[in-house]
Structure 1
């Protein structure tokens, strides 16, 4: 069962000892011994389901706003509304006699300005007078959770980083200050970036730039990293005793569900793994991290995947990728899309441009009002660095992006520079129009991002573009790319539009993903100049792959 609460879902089920409650298309369901029963019929969207004190708590979203709702397990399953807002709620977290929750306005995103509230919550099922504990216009508060010590824990970016704090009933104090993110950007409800071990310690996921690691916080606040074979960890921790279950991966390890036993010598027990037959024998490209200075005293981090099996002095066609979000980040993990291109002689470069998560609050907000400008500058700086270092072939450097990254890629085609062509998947084209059509949850984000480069205009595009879009996309509607394609056609600008019937915003997870990748590969090959192949090398599937020899590369970029 799934839910479209806040457009991206999250927290759609809550297990207890003998049953599971789920959110579905028609309301709230209970699953007992394999039997599914609709308990509360309601066409609204539900998320952040939580079981506590003999009832189910949840966030309910309608077109008019959010509500905190409760369903008692005693008697008939009648849903009660505890609180309502024209904005948003999140994370209803009960303990005996108290309830905590998050709230943010319709003018804000939860990673910009959100508030943590608590109120008495008695056996009569009514909320008492609420008190705000943290948050406000300049602070994002996420992931509240009652600890075994009866204190309320939460992550706040008041220091510039999402760090862990604790409210003991009287005051708020930091738990483990670090210059890193200890929570994920809350695109979905129900994230669990930290949890409590039975011995009084806290285990948490820490993000530093493109990398994650697991850390343990002792009672004195000392933070100790846990050595694991993972560089990417999902924000869905689950603790049992002195062990924590997680979903982890690395460039060489496909996603695994693992149980990490946190004794004196941490031990990893793999419970389940993504099925990729032959992965152990498959040659993959592993990324190298670059830090490149950019105009305005900025520094941008990029992950460079060399062509698979390439020599240390490789030189190749390069695909620069702008991630979606734009608050997402480029993670160090197994990326099959990157491997598709590196196994065919390309280098792939992921750029953590301005606005990315993993670098603190100021960096995350720096793209507001400059979208389509600074992100493009950052991607261009990375491409020009690779050209200068004779890693990239002049005339064979491309830019691609999905969603917000698609907007970046398209604007990369509106100026002179290193990019010979672009691919834009599920792209946003017109920020002003997008702000009117985007789901309710994301309207504030659209309003804050716009004001930079503005609409992508056909008359400004100078190089070939490929646009891939699902006809059922409800985050960035296909109307804008259709209109842009028509305008490009009228002006005689080389372009292709691939519309995928019935596909939503996530092309990469659709049944058409392979077809989209083949179209993208053909697009780059058609835009590449004449080149002299080297002897090539054998890819993991046994095929021969042509690539550029280092001697054929010279620094510079096409103008």
Structure 2
């Protein structure tokens, strides 16, 4: 059938995406008996997060419970299991609970204090009633007063003892197999974990009551401790390969590469024969996202990123060889990897034609010359078996939705994405831009956004449309830009670009919980990101007040001419609702002052999802958000479904 692009009838509805779609947020392996678990995000159950026994799909916790943590607001790992006893952080009370048998009533094992949030729990191997975890204390709720610590929780007495404090943040607690040493990551403001972190190892002694430190922690680094490189070194993924050796990922070479630390020699060495110009990890936005699994002390499974795609590989510890895993090229994105046995790992994997799924596997971007960076995009063209790929067949090119990923230190990953299919099956092109500052292309590319946030990301997104239009792949006159969180900020910045020609590239926009006022965000955001913006912007508000003003879209709302849809959660603590309200008010005031009051509904639409935070968890809100966005673009471009 021939039909205009953007008017195709698609079998992929918002209902399908919300009712049939389950996201997997974590993977766990019971080291006591080898049972594999995973946690499911269920939009159709009001966004409940449910630990599940993977082999039979049985829920671990009763229907009224949800396993979530608010540490760093973004959360991450908040469950752990040993010999069938399952521990989790309750999303409502924030306490730690244990379940001794699937479906039985949870039993509280931490103090009754709603100000305490727990994350990244790990069980002591010889004293399994003791759990080491990150504790985030919100007794004083102001971001500057929130306190993070590393603690030991005695689940028999519901008591807590402090293991490490004084740093602004902690992550990745890891206890050696013999239970005698603890490794952990810490970092300080103004750094984010992909900018500068510290790895520490300390001897510990466990008893029935708690865990005690024996001596002072040793800082482990891939660089000389007093060097400038050590001060800016980002370390991630500490994993014990034996009771003597600890593997970790360091970006001292410019890319996150694997290193190993020896307790006996108190020294670290590279596990590679020579540094590789690829990242073996992603930025640590969420707690507990491991990209390294130890099959044996001699063989590791790793996930290097080659040309934007994960390539599962084996790392031979003795020789430093990195060998591709058979069939590993199927998975273009891998996260949450865990060891099951000497010959098996489990992870969340994405294939080109298969969405994110739990995978059990048996183990049998290049830099350009000069000072500029390449422009990395993922382009999906219209595809629907019921329609001709050529649209109407008259030379028409498809309209395009450009996705700006969040972070901004993150990336759009390849593989099957239902959001992409939602548009491409309707005759749209869908372009995901890994702009300068994205992860997966090394430290230099990741740092390219320092001091340039709101500038180079906008430039790259705008140039992506121009280049794709010039190559004949899309209709450059029908381009919409959409993004959430920091991606929403880039959307707003693109629509207020001081260069009118660049603004005119965009015919429509959709900002999901996006940032409009950098100064207000710096004053109100949560602790984890409270100083993130300083390096992205180029300084504090006191140091560069003019830049905060110049790069805040709310101050230039009069420049917005493209119709703008804004979606926001009422309970968002990462980007508070006032960020959306301020720019919506400014746009409406400008339209009223210019005598365009009747056009307000066509120029800006603001929807608040009550009870939602930084993203939508409830299926009805996910569905409405997608349908509102598609409908917005269809109205702007004058498109309608042709039966």
TM-score calculated relative to the size of structure 1: 0.85
CA contact (8 A) 2:397 2:475 kept: yes
Maintained 8 Å contact 1:465/1:496: yes
Does residue 445 in structure 1 map to residue 532 in structure 2? yes
1:323 CA drift (Å): 0.6
1:138 to 219, 222, 232: 232
Query: Larger deviation: 12-21 or 123-132?
Result: 123-132
1:350 CA displacement: 0.4
Matches within 5 A, 1:118-157: 118-123=201-206, 125-127=211-213, 128-134=215-221, 136-148=230-242, 150-157=244-251
3-state SS in 2 of match to 1:440: coil
Q: Any conservation in 2 of the 1:148–1:196 contact (CA below 8 Å)?
A: no
Aligned partner of residue 585 in structure 2, secondary structure = helix
Matched, 1:367 2:449: yes
Following the alignment from structure 2 to structure 1, what is the Cα–Cα distance between the partners of residues 332 and 642?
A: 31
Instruction: Answer 1 or 2: which has greater strand percent.
Output: 1
1:436 paired to 2:523: yes
Q: Do 2:373 and 2:445's aligned partners in 1 also have CA atoms closer than 8 Å? A: no
CA distance in 2, matches of 1:337, 1:146: 38
Structure-1 residue corresponding to 2:34: none
> For residues 326 and 337 of structure 1, what CA distance do their matches in structure 2 show?
19
2:419 aligns with: 337
Distance 1:191 1:249 in 2: 15
SS at match of 2:161: strand
- Give the counterpart of 1:217 among 315, 325, 329: 315
Give the one of 297, 322, 333 matched to 2:404: 322
Question: What's the Cα RMSD here?
Answer: 2.5
Distance 2:581 2:367 in 1: 36
Q: Work out whether residues 182 and 206 of structure 1, in 8 Å CA contact, stay in contact via their aligned partners in 2.
A: yes
1:353 CA drift (Å)? 0.3
Partner-residue secondary structure (3-state), 2:312: strand
Task: Select which of 554, 560, 564 maps to 1:461.
Answer: 560
Which moved further from structure 2: 30-39 or 432-441? 30-39
Is structure 2 residue 153 aligned with structure 1 residue 48?
no
Shift, 1:372, TM fit: 1.1
Tell whether the 8 Å contact from 2:400 to 2:431 is kept in structure 1 after alignment: yes
Aligned positions of 1:90-105 closer than 5 A: 90-95=171-176, 96-105=179-188
Q: CA deviation at 1:459?
A: 1.8
Question: 1:3 and 1:317 mapped to 2: Cα distance?
Answer: 40
Q: Bigger CA drift: 147-156 or 325-334?
A: 147-156
2:98 and 2:252 mapped to 1: Cα distance?
39
User: 1:145-184 to 2 correspondence within 5 Å?
Assistant: 145-148=239-242, 150-169=244-263, 170=265, 171-176=267-272, 177-184=275-282
Deviations 1:321-364 (CA, angstroms, capped at 9, x unpaired): 11111111111121111111111111010000011110111211
8 Å CA contact retained: 1:50, 1:92: yes
Map of 1:266 onto structure 2: none
Q: Aligned-pair distance for 1:294?
A: 12
SS in 1 for 2:452: coil
The whole-number CA distance in structure 2 between the counterparts of 1:311 and 1:496 is 32
1:385 Cα deviation from its structure 2 partner? 0.7
Q: Whose RCO is larger (CA < 8 A, sep 6+)?
A: 2
CA spacing shift, 1:511–1:487, aligned 2, 3 Å: same
The yes-or-no answer on 1:27 pairing with 2:124 is no
- Check the 8 A contact 1:293/1:300 in 2, yes or no: no
Change (3 A) 1:426 1:202: same
SS at match of 2:568: strand
- Secondary structure of 2:289's partner? coil
Separation in 1 of the partners of 2:474 and 2:94?
53
Match of 1:191 in 2: 289
Question: Relative to 1, partners in 2 of residues 1:524 and 1:296: Cα closer, same or farther, differing over 3 Å?
Answer: farther
* Equivalent residue, structure 2, for 1:238: 339
How far residue 144 of structure 1 moved from its aligned partner, in angstroms, is 1.0
- Assess, with a 3 A threshold, how the Cα gap between structure 1 residues 157 and 113 changes in structure 2: closer, same or farther: same
Report how far residue 296 of structure 1 moved.
6.4
Residues 329, 357 of structure 1: 8 Å contact kept: yes
Contact kept? 1:162, 1:183, Cα under 8 Å? yes
Q: How far, CA to CA, are the matches of 1:390 and 1:356 in structure 2? A: 26
- Determine the C-alpha separation between the residues in 2 that align with 1:514 and 1:528: 21
Change over 3 Å in CA distance of 1:21–1:508 after alignment to 2: closer
Unaligned runs of 5+ in 2: 1-66, 139-145, 223-229, 539-546, 592-599
C-alpha displacement of 1:508: 7.2
Describe how 1:414-429 pairs up with structure 2 within 5 A.
Answer: 414-415=496-497, 416-417=501-502, 418-429=505-516
Does the CA contact (< 8 Å) of 2:402 and 2:432 recur in 1? yes
Are 2:568 and 1:476 aligned? no
Q: Distance in 2 between matches of 1:143 and 1:293?
A: 29
Q: What do residues 243-282 of structure 1 show as CA deviations (whole Å, max 9, x unaligned)?
A: 111221223112222221111xxxxxxxxxxxxxxxxxxx
TM-score by length of 2: 0.75
* CA 454–295 in structure 1, closer or farther in 2 if over 3 Å, else same: farther
Residue 122 of structure 1: CA displacement? Answer: 2.2
Q: Distance in 2 between matches of 1:150 and 1:343?
A: 53
Q: In the TM superposition, what whole-angstrom CA distance separates every residue of 1:57-80 from its partner, at most 9, and x where no partner exists?
A: 11111133211111346x634321
Where structure 1 has 5 or more consecutive residues not aligned to the other structure, the ranges are 264-288, 534-542, 546-559
Q: Deviations over 1:192-230 (max 9, x none)?
A: 211111372100122234311211112311101122322
- Larger CA deviation: 292-301 vs 27-36: 292-301
2:380 to 297, 305, 311: 305
2:357 is aligned to 256
Pairs within 5 Å for 1:274-289? none
Judged with a 3 Å threshold, the aligned counterparts in structure 2 of structure 1 residues 413 and 294 are, in CA distance, closer, same or farther, namely farther
* Corresponding residue SS for 2:276: coil
Greater shift in the superposed pair: 509-518 or 331-340:
509-518
The superposition leaves residues 386-431 of structure 1 with CA deviations (integer Å, 9 ceiling, x where unpaired) of 1111222242111111111111111111232311121111111112
CA contact (8 A) 2:195 2:233 kept: yes
2:42 paired residue number: none
> What's the counterpart of residue 283 of structure 1?
none
State whether residues 241 and 297 of structure 2, in contact with CA within 8 Å, keep that contact through their aligned partners in structure 1: no
SS in 1 for 2:237: strand
Conserved? CA contact 2:239–2:292, under 8 Å: no
Q: For this pair of structures, how many residues does the alignment match?
A: 507
